[in-house]
Amino acid sequence: MRSNLIKDGLERAPHRSLLKACGVTRKDMTKPFIAVVNSWTEIVPGHIHLRELSDAVKKGIRKSGGMPFEFSTIAVCDGLAIGHKGMKYSLPSRDVIANSIEIMIEAHALDGMVLIAACDEVVPGHLMAAGRLDIPTIVVTGGPMFPGNFQGDRVDIISVFEAVGKASGGEMREDELRELEECACPGAGSCAGMFSANTLACGTEALGLSLPGCATSHAASERKVHLAEMSGRQVVNLIKNDINARKIMTKKAFLNWIRVSLSIGGSTNDTLEVLAIAREAGIDIPLETFDELSRDTPHLCDMRPGGKYFMIDMENAGGVPAVMKQLQTLLNLNCLTVNGKRVVDNIFDVSVSNEDVIRPLANPVHKEGGIAILKGSLAPDGAVVKQIAVADVMLKVRGPARVFECEEDAYEAITSDKIKEGDVVVIRYEGPRGGPGMREMLAPTAAICGRGLSDSVALITDGRFSGGTRGPCIGHIVPEAAVGGPIAVVCEGDYISIDIPNRKLNLDISRDELETRIKKWQPRERDIKGCLSWYEQGCLDASHGAAMR
């Protein structure tokens, strides 16, 4: 065992003495030492219940003959960070989390770990650490929030963001908005639709690092507590059987993740996270893989934000195992999972209880998967769009650019009725380096939807979008403005052509004119301090997951 480095032999008497100060007995010294990595915090709704899950995990570890040691990581709530400078810190937090886990595991020579996380960049940070450390690992994702009820309709946090646009446009009374904000988020859990956090939870289960059923078991359910205890038991078996993380985190397993995500209409953030996590596991997955798989992976689940179903509907229909059952002819069925079984064994007896929620391959919501990768003169190295959340009338559009140097300026223009039907809103200098931090643009996209413009106004950016974004919103443009990409030289009134079916995104000026503008472009001078400076100097572009070099 790795932990023998700190507990075996005459020379480790001082180490054993320190461990005994923590309550470790002589008998405990013979057990595997297992980290319980908990991202509990009191300010993130998806994490406020994780102490209970951690207690269940530790109970399971002890019952199976292991010795648990709990420590914490940070956790950013993207919903609270969004719309202001705080969002710059979300993506960099991913690497801080991975680094902190690595430090604790390596400094204390722990034998395995159970990772407990729930929200947008927290789950990827934990998974990056799993790929990097390659020790026996199991993940307990915190689970979705139940939807709220507003005047007889089910609602979630995106309902509130979009209601702000309605209220500012006079389509909703302020007292109704206050009533909605009171009930939209009824308790613990990741926001109730197929937004980034729940997309990642489903991906983690599809990858094989969570027990079957973990992704959709809700935060405030007894089933979640049971799965947490079972995860604690199972990590001990992983150690006994020498099943390290990379035996599960194979390229074929990542391709399963991508196909599942495409079929459930997952967040565009998946492109960043999969590429960064795979990289830590020593696997190269090009951005184009998402597009290649999307062309023959049908969209099977009509989930929020683009659709009508919530995570509770997916849970009741059979969860991720049921999705994988429908997709089985497209999946790598021999991949190993943390319960010690292969994918084919996990889904053998699975049935789909509601084929309106999880459709069969022969009757998809859309013939193609959720994400498309666009390229062209405006995005030579790629851009990302959730194509299933775009109205048919907006799949091919051409319009004049309305150019903004930051999210706040664009939001002010949208809410002040300065954006008209047919406009293409361009938000630049919000990429990984330009932000720095690659902010999500939920506030302006929700404002566009709230003001009834989602079928007539497109938005493009070198930043990214919340998993709750819907409409013709194209992000992750590479190269970004901060490094002199074409988006940096778009002028007010230039025409931009978007052709999602043919994967094209073009700035409609001549090649000579584009080259002339780029030669004249000068980088902005800014005074960036602290961890944002660290991230700005070390991050890769969005087509490589915006990971640190």
Residues marked as catalytic: 466
H-type helices in 416-520, by residue range? 442-450, 511-520
Q: By the 8 A CB rule, do 167 and 180 touch?
A: no
Residue 473 CA, chain-centre distance (Å), reads 17
Rounded to the nearest 5°, which phi and psi values hold at 513? -65, -40
Residue located via tokens 């196909």: 259
Gap between the Cα atoms of 405 and 426, Å rounded: 8
Long-range CB contacts for residues 480-483, cutoff 8 Å, separation at least 24: 480/428, 480/429, 480/431, 480/432, 480/433, 480/434, 480/541, 480/542, 481/428, 481/429, 481/431, 481/434, 482/429, 482/431, 482/433, 482/434, 482/436, 482/523, 482/524, 483/433, 483/523, 483/541
* Residue 415 near residue 447, CB atoms below 8 Å: yes
β-strands 379-386, 371-376: how paired? antiparallel
Contact between residue 106 and residue 99 where contact means Cβ atoms under 8 Å apart:
no
Give start and end residues of each alpha helix (H) in 169-308.
174-183, 196-207, 222-240, 245-248, 251-263, 269-280, 288-294
527 is an annotated ligand-binding site residue: no
Sort 440 into a burial class: Cβ within 10 Å, 0-12 / 13-18 / 19+: buried
Residue 412 annotated in ligand binding:
no
The CA-based angle 228-250-194, given to 5 degrees, is 55
Token pair listed for 192: 């109730």
CA–CA separation, 289 and 533 (whole Å): 31
CA 298 to chain centre: 20
Is 78 annotated as ligand-binding? Answer: yes
Annotated binding site for Mg(2+): 78, 120, 440
Q: Which residues are known binding-site members?
A: 78, 120, 440
